Structure 1
């Protein structure tokens, strides 16, 4: 019995060192065979080099270690397994498990995986990967890191934004030129319509003044030469009352007080739209083009803002055209 125990112990040591499976049959009892299975396990720490996590894995075929640099924020468990299989064609199976033996999905990000210890199974060999927690950054290091980020942002602004702004300015100037070409004939026609509408509305004002003058002269003639004041007083009262009724009717129809400038503007618009229909002037399209022109000019003004371009004011003075 002691001899059998000694032999079993030697076989276990042999299996542990070789990492293989062995069948041992007792010489005293050939019918009794003991099947030993042992899986070789190794502990591998996660190291950080140049700020990136590194795994030093022994390759099964070449019996040598290979460094695998990982990108936690960009790669997953599937990427690590593919890198191992590409590096050693002798790797037939590779998977990742937790320390409790639960399989980890291939889509798990490496950043999540490296937060805790895990097991890496390669060709029935288990590697216990010990995760190394990063040291928390101090306030001084965080301040330096923010300074580096600001410097990188300013460098990117200095190198990339000028060319980008030039491309945008060229596109906006081209769009501005197209809009001005479309608006030029419409502006000319609108100027003619404005002039005619202004003349017509002014003519109406002068006609109103003439009618009031004729009315005053007629009332004076009837009062002093034809009839007496006693006869014409009720007539003038009803004329004044009729004027009040007309002003109130104007407010009911237009929802505006009868103010002479507003009344003149209404007459101006009335004659303008009448002329626009006669000359086929597209007012909605004209308003749309004017809004687009104002938007493009505002974009150009913002693009040439010295605070955004970080350049002196002298370099963005408007060009003489």
Structure 2
């Protein structure tokens, strides 16, 4: 570092009092802890740094109090204004996002209704196919053939249904549960209809996510703990008329029970 500052220095070395050379990686702070020799070219300088003053615990405590006071003063002068400005910015962004979301929300509601109607129609079609299957198997069992012939057929039909449910799990990585199947079909129909109508659902989801984040930030800004507001006073409990009447009745019964006991004590105290 000395050679960089002064081009006239060819050789520079630092040695401690015992003549041991100090490494260049030693920091200035550690170097000033003790006396040392400074060799510059052919000259030698004995450096005796001043002793450091030790700070007492009382001074450290006082310094901490001053820092806390400065922080409170800064907070009182700037944090409130910063919160107001931040809330205005968030409200402005929220209004802009709501304006963008309005047309997309209307289109998405229309697509949701269409997808719901189509999904409900498919559920009724499934019920109709199951009814047809039941009718065919019943006719073949009781009219055309006998149960001895149709029993293996019904076994394979049942096993085929189980295979279809397992194939659904393999393809979709979801268990074959009717509510989940209906929701999945609804989403598939919705995305297909949105693609045909030119509605960008990814943009819609992104706007909804941004709105949720801004609303969360606004709730945090308005939190009494964040704004350092005093806690609201506890609400006084109110009693109904029936509770007051019950308490009076209990008090009167207790008073009647105490009167005979007091009379007995008075008689016992007489000579």
* TM band (smaller chain): 0.5 to 0.7
Distance of 1:230 and 1:256 partners within structure 2: 37
Q: 1:252 aligns with which of 166, 170, 173?
A: 170
Quote how far apart the aligned CAs of 1:226 are. Answer: 2.3
Distance of 1:249 and 1:134 partners within structure 2: 79
Correspondence for 1:262? 180
Correspondence for 1:18? none
Distance of 2:66 and 2:216 partners within structure 1: 34
Q: 1:232 aligns with which of 150, 163, 166?
A: 150
Do structure 1's residue 180 and structure 2's residue 180 form an aligned pair? no
Residues 68-116 of structure 1 deviation map (CA, whole Å, 9 limit, x = unaligned): xxxxxxxxxxxxxxxxxxxxxxxxxxxxxxxxxxxxxxxxxxx9xx999
Do structure 1's residue 307 and structure 2's residue 225 form an aligned pair? yes
Which aligned segments of 4 or more residues in structure 1 are displaced greater than 3 angstroms? Answer: 130-137
SS in 1 for 2:97: helix
Question: What is the alpha-carbon root mean square deviation over aligned residues?
Answer: 2.7
Quote how far apart the aligned CAs of 1:168 are. Answer: 0.8
Distance of 1:222 and 1:115 partners within structure 2: 104
Correspondence for 2:10? none
Query: Cα gap change, 1:239/1:115 in structure 2, threshold over 3 Å: closer, same or farther?
Result: closer
Distance of 1:281 and 1:165 partners within structure 2: 37
Quote how far apart the aligned CAs of 1:189 are. Answer: 1.3
Do structure 1's residue 193 and structure 2's residue 111 form an aligned pair? yes
Do structure 1's residue 289 and structure 2's residue 204 form an aligned pair? no
Distance of 2:177 and 2:60 partners within structure 1: 69
Runs of 5+ unmatched residues, structure 2: 1-28, 35-47, 233-271
Distance of 2:217 and 2:96 partners within structure 1: 16
Residues 127-181 of structure 1 deviation map (CA, whole Å, 9 limit, x = unaligned): xxx9976753322222122112111110111111111111111011000110111
Distance of 1:310 and 1:252 partners within structure 2: 55
Matched ranges for 1:210-225 at <5 A: 210-225=128-143
Query: Cα gap change, 1:313/1:169 in structure 2, threshold over 3 Å: closer, same or farther?
Result: farther
Do structure 1's residue 144 and structure 2's residue 62 form an aligned pair? yes
Q: 1:171 aligns with which of 51, 69, 89?
A: 89
Query: Cα gap change, 1:132/1:241 in structure 2, threshold over 3 Å: closer, same or farther?
Result: closer
| RCO comparison, higher one (Cα < 8 Å, 6+) | 2
Larger Rg: 1
SS in 2 for 1:309: coil
Number of residue-to-residue matches in the alignment: 191
Query: Cα gap change, 1:149/1:287 in structure 2, threshold over 3 Å: closer, same or farther?
Result: same
- Write 1 or 2 for the structure with the bigger share of helix: 2
Q: 1:205 aligns with which of 123, 126, 129?
A: 123
SS in 2 for 1:307: coil
TM-score by length of 1: 0.54
